[in-house]
């Protein structure tokens, strides 16, 4: 619990916690990892570190040019997959191409995320923060689950945020159609949904050798933070974590032995963290099932394996 003090989210908090960290020395040769939002920030750093460990990395993003430039900085075998993960049709098409080209998927890192200054809808009619941060992730994970099962043991890591502590899931209004939209609330609400889905996937696959974890990277200096929260970025810049520090727990969850022994947890700096700090944010079992059913309706797809 002490690790969740606000100061711990900074680079100083990371340096304090990292005193107890062992170096990551896993051999990922022969393993395939899919990383979304891989053209920059935490996704690119994750791709670099896993590539350096020998993994074949499938880098997913919506800009082909940025992905090609990013791939040049990744050691080892890496390929790109261009898709806008806010559009369910593109998620389906990307998943289909990945399933066709990759005989195995050992790790899926759902990292892509946006924080938009105003409420926008996609060409498919979905609120864009929800579509990118939650619905697209839900659909991609469900579509790739069959290949993850074929590749067992496998892992899914969902990059959430400490902001989710401020929100209770509202399954009746996932798209902020009936309440005031603010960038931070919409972002944190979707991140709360990620944590809930992580727990629900973990329950469904508890005996099937796929582990699901979510995590909070702390406050990292990325282009997304600079663009979405310019004032915060300016004030906190000396204290923001480097992308490497922010990605540390993502990579550790992907390769270390300890997280393979459990499932469904929320992690911060390689330690299991609580999912709620206030009673007011706790959802009911009915909320959880309603969230799942709402995402099935929005994406048009449920789990394809039972």
Instruction: Cite the active site residues.
Output: 187
Q: Maximum Cα–Cα distance for the chain, whole Å?
A: 49
Answer yes or no: are the C-beta atoms of 60 and 108 closer than 8 Å.
no
Q: Which of 47, 4, 22, 2 is nearest to 258 (CA)?
A: 22
HSE-CB of 304 using CA atoms within 13 angstroms: 16
Contacts for 164-167 with beta carbons within 8 Å, 24 or more apart? 164/188, 164/189, 164/191, 164/192, 164/194, 164/195, 165/276, 165/277, 165/278, 165/281, 166/281, 167/191, 167/192, 167/281
Contacts of 215 (CB under 8 A, 6+ apart): 157, 158, 159, 160, 249, 250, 253, 266, 267, 268
Contacts for 280-284 with beta carbons within 8 Å, 24 or more apart? 280/168, 281/165, 281/166, 281/167, 281/168, 281/192, 282/168, 283/168, 283/169, 283/196
Contacts of 66 (CB under 8 A, 6+ apart): 39, 40
The tokens for 129 are 């923060």
For 75, phi and psi rounded to 5 degrees? -75, 150
């Amino acid at each position: 619990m002490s690790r969740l003090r606000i100061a711990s989210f900074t680079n100083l908090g990371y340096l304090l916690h990292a005193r107890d960290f062992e170096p990551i020395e896993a051999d990922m040769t022969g393993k395939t990892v899919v990383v979304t939002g891989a053209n920059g920030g935490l996704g690119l750093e994750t791709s670099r570190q896993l590539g350096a460990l020998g993994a074949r990395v499938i880098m997913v993003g919506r800009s082909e040019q940025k992905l090609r430039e990013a791939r040049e900085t990744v050691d080892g075998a890496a390929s790109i997959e261009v898709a806008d993960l806010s559009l369910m049709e593109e998620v389906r098409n990307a998943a289909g191409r990945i399933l066709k080209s990759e005989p195995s998927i050992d790790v899926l890192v759902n990292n892509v995320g946006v924080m938009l200054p105003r409420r926008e809808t996609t060409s498919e009619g979905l609120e864009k923060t929800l579509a990118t941060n939650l619905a697209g992730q839900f659909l991609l994970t469900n579509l790739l689950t069959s290949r993850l099962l074929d590749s067992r043991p496998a892992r899914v890591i969902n990059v959430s945020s400490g902001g989710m502590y401020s929100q209770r899931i509202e399954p009746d209004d996932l798209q902020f159609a009936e309440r005031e939209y603010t960038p931070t609330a919409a972002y944190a609400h979707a991140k709360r949904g990620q944590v809930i889905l992580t727990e629900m996937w973990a329950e469904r696959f508890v005996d099937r050798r796929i582990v699901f974890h979510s995590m909070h990277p702390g406050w990292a200096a990325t282009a997304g933070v600079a663009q979405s929260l310019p004032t915060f970025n300016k004030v906190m810049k000396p204290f923001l974590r480097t992308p490497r520090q922010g990605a540390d727990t993502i990579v550790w969850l992907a390769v270390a032995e300890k997280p393979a022994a459990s499932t469904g947890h929320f992690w911060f700096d390689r330690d299991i963290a609580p999912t709620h700090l206030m009673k007011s944010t706790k959802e009911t079992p009915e909320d959880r099932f309603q969230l799942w059913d709402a995402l099935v309706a929005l994406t048009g797809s449920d789990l394809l394996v039972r």
